[in-house]
Amino acid sequence: MRKIFGFMIGVVVGGLVGSTIALLLAPDSGESLRSELRERGLAVQAEIRNAADVRGIELRERLEELRKPPVT
């Protein structure tokens, strides 16, 4: 749980830092910059959902293993 929480914090902080740098250094117009940032935000959101889904599957599989009766 700590690893997931740490990962999520890292993603959010990284996104904020990256978008701030992009705003400061971007030669594009405001509209195209907003569009690009929106696309990047959606990509990050999709990555987070994917990582959460994968981790959820791993945890469900592990729970199923733990619920099996011990083999003697």
| Residue-by-residue pLDDT tens, the chain, 72 positions | 777 888 888 888 888 888 888 777 767 677 887 888 889 889 989 999 999 999 999 999 999 998 988 877
User: Side-chain half-sphere of 58: how many Cα atoms within 13 Å?
Assistant: 8
**Cβ-contact 15, 23 below 8 angstroms:** no
- Domain borders along the chain are 2-67
The pLDDT assigned to 26 comes to: 67
Distance of CA 19 to the CA centre of its chain: 15
Tokens of 38: 């929106």
> Taking the model in full, what pTM does it have?
0.52
- Block residue for tokens 């981790």: 55
